[in-house]
Amino acid sequence: MSDYDEEVKKLQSEAMADLERIFAEAKTKKTKRDPVRAERKLFLIELVRARLRRGLSQARLAEMTGMRQPVISRIENGRSNPNLHTLLIIAKALDVNLMIEYKD
């Protein structure tokens, strides 16, 4: 493995560790005042996790989806509200299932 590959793996590992910490914090900060915001944050964290698990950069995911990297960044950072079609395209590129669950 080249030095570059090792550095990429190290950075991805560090990013995953940071993401795990943020995810744990977000789960504990769920409040009754704004449950939708908390759920949205958890969803976006899962989206980033899926990308990192596959070793993909935002730029590579953008190529795979036909989107631009800044679009992927805005989605992951919660500065954009992607529609269902866009989420399905991203899910397909990440080889994950996007599920909507109804609660009574």
Q: Is the pLDDT of residue 57 over 90?
A: yes
Q: What is the pLDDT of residue 21?
A: 73
Retrieve residue 40's tokens.
């949205």
CA dihedral 57, 60, 64, 69 (to 10 degrees): 80
Ordered by start, the domain boundaries in the chain are: 3-94
Please state which architecture CATH assigns to domain 3-94. Orthogonal Bundle (1.10)
Residue where the block lists tokens 């944050």: 41
CA dist., res. 62 & res. 40, Å (int): 21
CA dihedral 81, 85, 88, 92 (to 10 degrees): -120
pLDDT in tens, 1-41: 677 667 667 777 777 777 777 767 666 665 556 777 778 88
